[in-house]
Homo-oligomer: A and B are copies of this chain.
Amino acid sequence: MQQTKFLLDEKRIPESWYNLVPDLPFQLEPPLNPATREPVGPEAFAPIFPEEIIRQEVTAEPYVPIPEEVREIYALWRPTPLFRARRLEKLLDTPAHIYYKYEGVSPSGSHKPNTAVPQAFYNKQEGVRRLTTETGAGQWGSSLAFACETLGLDCTVYMVKVSYGQKPYRRIMMETYGAEVHASPTDLTQAGRDILEQDPDSPGSLGIAISEAVEDAVKNDDAKYSLGSVLNHVLLHQTVIGQEALEQMELAGEYPDVVVGCVGGGSNFGGIAFPFIRENLKGNKDTRIIGVEPASCPTLTKGRYVYDFGDTAGTTPMMKMYTLGHSFVPSGIHAGGLRYHGDSPIVSALVHEGLVEARAYAQNPTFEAGVAFARAEGIVPAPEVTHAIKATMDLALEAREAGEEKTILFNLCGHGHFDFSAYEQYLAGGLVNLEHSDEEIERAVAGIPG
């Protein structure tokens, strides 16, 4: 029997997270205070993050040890399996070898708990009793709810009101894990009340929900805030994915010629890619690293590499990143986790320096790839990761054309069990591609002050 899955014993859960920053052949540009345009120090984050998280955000250590208690919680689902997609290869009739790392086996169904658990852990260690956060479709909120429950913290989630109504399963999952979930905008915060005063029927937005969650944490001594992507410490925690994958590829007796991940804020992409980028930077390997984004939110492929705000309201420090402008509102595609105007500063710098390639796909071809994948491999993928699947299938078809036995690895960052209404629309022929016109993108990008 040909091998399909490459498993690691839980003793092989990595003992450290890998920090790419000190290995980069260039300096990352620091976050700036928007008023003074001076670099902000770590202390700027003290009202919202615990000390250890702030330390990890700026650390120059190449490896950060994973606390034993975090590894024990990771063991509920880690190491995650690596699959050889033999049935997909056959379907595509390709000489390429396709591998995927499957993060959907976590309790909340995605890679997000990899950072939710350590964030909850460090907060608890520093005496925090409650974490606040925002969530859109609910992947992040349900992961933080799980992590808080596991570590005995309270959890307050501000869920974008339109999603609160449309995605009840994710909301109920958070409540099952004991979290308090509010439809944002609420009347519990000044930010929420201001919005409601202007528009009592506001459907909410991720930007508003962030403002509410941050305000809740800043104004209440028992609480801190937690973010699920973009920042350095989040990507750091996600590197367990790539470290395990490196070991599993060795078990498979292969090394990837290409590593592929979808990119929203950059956390699942960084998680799989950084350990492989390390091998490139050390001169050991020469693997193509490809980030895939939606054509409707083409941050890396059409955005500008400038300083911009991380949130819509413009309240965060400014970060140097690819951005479509912090007021850009991406089309309502189903891959909600990829609808972010900016990108992780590290991932942005890697693209800018040519160490990572970026490509973009429209909505329909990604769902077509997602359905083909589900029919071949069984797992129904989340809409976000269908972007990585589409790129992988294209690469495998190119390998067939070229007659090359390429080895391709992608990160299957989550299952699509809560996304079947999107699949239904696709199967009924009702999905549309939602790219913005070049003019719209140009207008958005031209408006960026940075």
Give A contacts to B, CB under 8 Å.
1-5, 7, 9-11, 68, 71-72, 75-77, 83, 87, 105-109, 146, 149-150, 168-169, 172-173, 175-178, 371, 374-375, 377-380, 417-418, 420-421, 423-424, 427
Tell whether, in the assembled complex, residue A7 and residue B9 are in contact, meaning their CB atoms are under 8 Å apart. Answer: yes
Point out the residues of chain B lying under 8 angstroms from A380, CB to CB. 107, 173, 176
Does B420 contact A173, Cβ atoms closer than 8 Å?
yes
Across-interface contacts of A418 in B (CB, < 8 A): 417
CA distance A175 to B425 in the complex (A): 11
The contact sample of 23 A-B pairs, CB cut-off 8 A, is A2-B72, A3-B75, A4-B75, A5-B10, A76-B83, A77-B378, A87-B150, A105-B105, A106-B378, A107-B378, A107-B379, A109-B417, A149-B375, A150-B378, A169-B417, A172-B421, A172-B424, A175-B423, A175-B424, A176-B374, A176-B375, A177-B375, A417-B417
* Complex Cα gap A9–B423 (Å): 33
A169 partner residues in chain B, CB cutoff 8 A: 417, 420-421
**How many angstroms from the CA of A10 to the CA of B7 in the assembled complex?**
9
Cα separation A77 to B81 with both chains bound (whole Å): 10
Given contacts A76-B377, A173-B380, A420-B173, contact A71 B105 (CB under 8 A): no
Q: How far is the CB of A413 from chain B (nearest CB, A)?
A: 17
* Alpha-carbon distance between A172 and B370 when the two chains are bound, in angstroms: 14
Q: A-B pairs with the 6 shortest C-beta distances?
A: A107-B378, A172-B420, A4-B75, A169-B420, A417-B417, A172-B424
For the complex formed, measure the closest distance between the CB of A422 and the CB atoms of chain B, giving whole angstroms.
Answer: 9
Q: A175-B427, A427-B172 are in contact. Are A4 and B421 (CB under 8 A)?
A: no
A127 → chain B closest CB, angstroms: 22
CA separation between A72 and B168, bound complex, in Å?
37
C-alpha gap A417/B172 in the complex (Å): 10
A357 CB to nearest chain B CB (Å): 30
For A170, give the chain B residue with the smallest CB separation: B420
Contact A375 B4 (CB under 8 A): no
Q: What are the residues of chain B within 8 A of A424 when measuring CB–CB? A: 168, 172, 175
Asked whether A75 and B5 contact (CB < 8 A) given A176-B374, A379-B107, A417-B169, the answer is yes
| Contact (Cβ within 8 A) B423 A176 | yes
Closest residue of chain B to A11 (Cβ to Cβ) is B1
Q: Which of B11, B371, B420 meets A168, CB within 8 Å?
A: B420
In this complex, the member of A76, A107, A377 whose beta carbon has the largest number of chain B beta carbons within 10 angstroms is A76
Cα distance A1–B7 when bound, in Å? 18
Verify B379–A72 contact, CB threshold 8 A. Answer: no
In the complex the two chains form, what is the Cα distance from A1 to B68 in whole Å? 7
Cα(A33)–Cα(B68), bound, Å: 63
Bound Cα distance A3, B72 (Å): 9
